Amino acid sequence: MEKTIHRKLQINHTRNKQQDHTVLMDEAVTNFRYEDCQNEYWNPEEFSLLYGTPLWEQSTQHQRIILNQLYWVAYYSQIVSAEIATIFFNQTSAAGLYAQEDFRLICDTLDLESAQERSHINAFRTIAKQVEQALFGELIFTYPMRGPFTETMVYADTNALKTWWKKIQLQYFGLISANNTFLACQYFTVRGVRTLNGKLVQHKLSNYYQKHPHPEAAPIPAKVSYYHFMDESFHFNSSTIISHDVITCLKPPTAFERLVANLGLLGCQRDHFHFSAAINGIFWYDPALYGKIYRVLRSPIFEMSEMDAKEMMRRCFTEESEGLQRSFSTHQEAMKSYQVYVEKLDYLWERNRDMSLMATNSISRYLATQQRDFQGFENQGDLFLSHTETQRRREEWKSVV
């Protein structure tokens, strides 16, 4: 391996070990009690669930605080999914990198990162479960632990066949990348893009702690956002070194390797195609979120009737709002950032380099989709949970707390 690349890897690994935030994160989470911070914001105000929508406009101060906390819960529940997958693919890629001289340094780095991901997952889940238990007594954004081959928690118009197909693709990718150095490196292009996206928002979330008038007294979830942001900086760096630099030490990819690599990035564009009026910075497909938002609106926090809840959702999801504009603008920034990030990877197809799939989404397209899908949702009969469904959810809940 070229000297500079080795040096970059070395600095990254050494500094990550020195500045590891795992212990601080574990400690903070052990001391987390929702009662201690239930009356304050955990993020900057604009990072609240449904911020800038009619719901936000008419919410009381107390409800706004809950929406702010629910953003945290929903956002980091999504990050849990990403980190579960990362732990698995770190290992398969490490196997694929055995064929590389100096592989040990890379593998040690990935081991450290996986240990950090485990601490992050524990922190996010512990806090999120406690909050949902206190507020709703059931799971809404949180979910039981799952394997790495499942769709992330709220996914675009999926069905059983698509879920199965995605699972097969992920398993196959894991298998072949464990025996192919190029594909092992290529995994880090996708991981880099995803982390780059995360950093756009996580930087702002972490600032809340850093700029807090008394950081030591800041709410624990805000501290966790900061600790997470700091660890992930190193993870982003490893992704960049492996996918941009280490890859240059390998033979050019074969046609098959190029195909798999490009399909991987195209899948990433597909995952990041949508943007959400409910949560700025995660590219969720909002119709998949209707049921969850409905439950929040019918809960004792908002106490809406079936009709009021549906009417509020219609206004939030099918009409233009400041919140929607903000989410779209994050989507645009992410897309432009990805373009620059992958600019020099000459094995990529044109449509992956210019992110043309992501580029076809727009506010008018978003609204058209919502107007179509919301009708179906609105026409469903009694949406409030039936007795059996409530029972099922309570069982599910018991299995995780």
Residues in touch with another protein (CB under 8 A): 4, 7-8, 11-12, 15, 196, 199, 203, 207, 230, 232-234, 236-237, 240, 248, 332-333, 336-337, 340-341
Least Cβ distance, residue 361 to another protein (angstroms): 16
Least Cβ distance, residue 8 to another protein (angstroms): 6
Assigned token pair, 2: 């070229």
Looking at beta carbons only, is 248 or 325 nearer to another protein? Answer: 248
Nearest Cα to Cα of residue 206 among 76, 17, 331? 76
Residues 6+ apart with CB under 8 A from 231: 16, 20, 21, 22, 113, 116, 120
- The answer to whether 1 touches 101, Cβ cutoff 8 Å, is yes
Assigned token pair, 300: 């004792």
Least Cβ distance, residue 358 to another protein (angstroms): 14
Least Cβ distance, residue 191 to another protein (angstroms): 12
Looking at beta carbons only, is 218 or 230 nearer to another protein? Answer: 230
Count Cα atoms within 13 angstroms, Cβ side, for 395: 6
Least Cβ distance, residue 383 to another protein (angstroms): 40
Assigned token pair, 245: 């630099």
Least Cβ distance, residue 14 to another protein (angstroms): 10
Looking at beta carbons only, is 59 or 240 nearer to another protein? Answer: 240
Least Cβ distance, residue 232 to another protein (angstroms): 8
Least Cβ distance, residue 375 to another protein (angstroms): 35
- The answer to whether 102 touches 8, Cβ cutoff 8 Å, is no
**CA geometry: angle at 342 spanning 341 and 344, to 5°?**
110
Looking at beta carbons only, is 22 or 233 nearer to another protein? Answer: 233
Least Cβ distance, residue 344 to another protein (angstroms): 9
Looking at beta carbons only, is 170 or 334 nearer to another protein? Answer: 334
Looking at beta carbons only, is 183 or 242 nearer to another protein? Answer: 242
How far apart are the C-alpha atoms of 151 and 224, rounded to whole Å?
25
Looking at beta carbons only, is 48 or 237 nearer to another protein? Answer: 237
DSSP 3-state assignment of 374? helix
What's the full length of the chain, in residues?
Answer: 401
Q: What single string gives the DSSP state of each residue in 64-106?
A: HHHHHHHHHHHHHHHHHHHHHHHHHHHHHHHHHGGGSTTHHHH
Looking at beta carbons only, is 7 or 392 nearer to another protein? Answer: 7
Assigned token pair, 317: 């999801």
- The answer to whether 395 touches 143, Cβ cutoff 8 Å, is no
Assigned token pair, 241: 């070194």
How far apart are the C-alpha atoms of 354 and 371, rounded to whole Å?
29
Q: Please, what's the b/e burial string for 205-230 (b: 16 or more CB within 10 A of its CB; e: otherwise)?
A: bbbbbeeeeeeeebbbbbbbbbbbbb
Looking at beta carbons only, is 200 or 301 nearer to another protein? Answer: 200
